[in-house]
Structure 1
Amino acid sequence: MRHLVLSDIHGNWPALEAVLQAAPPFDRVLFLGDAVGYYPDGDRVLGWLREVGAECVLGNHDAWLLALDRLPVEGVVLEILEWQRGRLSPENLAFLASWPWQREVEGALLVHGSPCDPWEYLDDLAPARQAFRCSEARLAFHGHTHLAGAFLELQGPRPWVRYQAFPEGGELVLPPSVRALVNPGSVGQPRDGVPGAAFALWEGDRIAFYRVAYDLERVAARLAEEGFPPWLYTRLTLGQ
């Protein structure tokens, strides 16, 4: 079975559209959290995930949106989430609220941050080593850092961990003796210096990474239409 692996869409519908136009055929969608936040079309993103029956886990922005009645709404991020929550359909809000923090799909673990803590950033070797100890899964998919790449653990008496980045695409083939923590990158707001929408395809022991360009001016127009901060567009042009 071929899985389309997505993370950190953040309400960026033009980016998700570009992914769907560029992706090879797939059987199932795995989503690693943060459907909402930053860009205006969170309801549309959630509607698509619900329609395709995506297997989803909560991200921190998703959790913040669900908890807004218990949080002081201060700062741009929470103000955007409050704006989005007021525009979510009841069906999409209930769908979002049903997501767990982690789940297993065909032996792979799905989590937003780390197997140890769904809010933790796997952005260095030390937290990656700890993450491997928090799960027995050979393969785990995560997001949160918005960086496309994989931490690889070579099993043995003293496991050895290294990192491989895939900011412009590429393919990872897992040998039997290797475990992996794989981040497909962010669909909606990459932060590895390469503009475009990132995603991955997982089939068996192969994970293919992709980065697809799209019309950023469509996002700029949506931001202007809804009065969102222009720096959200600038970040997309820089891939940061």
Structure 2
Amino acid sequence: MTIAFISDIHGNFEALKAVLAEIDRMRVAEIVCVGDVVGYYSQVNECCDELRRRGIPSVLGNHDWYLGYGGFCTRSRSVNECLVYQRKVITSENVNWLRAFHLQMQMDTVRIVHAGWSDPIDEYLTNPSEDYFARLSGTHFVSGHTHVQSIHRFGGKTYCNPGSVGQPRDGDPRAAFATFDGETFALHRVAYDMQKVFDRMEAAGFHDYYYGGLKTGAKNLRRLAD
């Protein structure tokens, strides 16, 4: 059974629709979200509603935690400004849905967290190492959080970061996801209409500062922290 992994959607419904359409085209029936359904962009309800409608499970990301439990980001004022807006628009049903997310998940042989296995919602695995994964039981691992798509193999273990659906930071602005066929991970990218995201953010009162980095897949999205 092939599984598709999506991560770091961040309220970018246009990117999510494009990714799900491609997954449907590939006839991949099983989809798992690696966290951060919400955060940054304006269509948090649409993203939550679509995952709920499809029955797509998700682990808890740091932005899901911020919005679900009333937390704030200690690294970025801009992130918190986005959260203020999202708290005004998100439905109570979607808040409760976010609160039901687990910190970790296992799908067949794949262990899944949003960030890392030392801190499931806020550890950055920017340079995955063999020593790190030698301490973990299992053979296949998936996490997101860095918004950088990658696959790393360490002996008999494989780690995959599917990248970000809604806010890539690896220099490729196309929405990212990954698939796993039971043995091998594969990385995928999909183009989408960013202008619709820009228009909705502007209508919500946000300046280009908050979304301009989407155009290039900037590593440091206009200084917005994760």
TM-score (norm 1): 0.83
Computing the radius of gyration from Cα coordinates, the structure with the larger value is 1
Residue 71 of structure 1 and its aligned partner are, at CA, apart by: 8.0
Residue by residue over 1:83-125, the C-alpha shift from the partner in whole angstroms, topping out at 9 and shown as x without a partner, is 2122222221111100011111112111011122221111114
Deviations 1:43-96 (A, max 9, x none): 111111111111210111111112326889x82211212321222222211111
CA contact (8 A) 2:151 2:185 kept: no
3-state SS of the aligned residue for 1:188?
coil
2:89 alignment counterpart: 87
Q: Which amino acid aligns with 2:172?
A: V
Gaps of 5+ in 1: 155-177
Residue in structure 1 matched with residue 127 of structure 2 by the alignment: 124
The one-character-per-residue Cα deviations of 1:153-200 (angstroms, maximum 9, x if unpaired) are 11xxxxxxxxxxxxxxxxxxxxxxx21111011000000001110011
> 8 Å contact 1:147–1:185 — kept in the other structure?
yes
Matching residue's letter, 2:125: L
Give the number of aligned pairs.
Answer: 214
Structure 2 portions without partners, runs of 5+: 219-226
Over 3 Å counting, the alpha-carbon distance change for 1:222 and 1:95 in structure 2 is same
Q: 1:22 offset after TM fit, Å?
A: 2.1
1:164 aligned residue: none
| TM-score, normalising length: structure 2 | 0.88
Partner of 2:201: 223
Percent identical among aligned pairs is 37
Superposed structure 1 runs of 4+ greater than 6 Å apart: 69-72
Match of 1:37 in 2: 39
8 Å contact kept, 1:64–1:78:
no
Q: Residues 1-240 of structure 1: matches in 2 within 5 Å?
A: 1-23=1-23, 24-68=26-70, 75-118=77-120, 119-125=122-128, 128-154=129-155, 178-240=156-218
Distance 2:131 2:81 in 1: 34
Give the Cα–Cα distance (whole angstroms) in 1 for the partners of residues 44 and 72 of structure 2.
21
Q: CA deviation at 1:203?
A: 1.4
CA separation of 1:228 and 1:134: change in aligned 2, threshold 3 A: farther
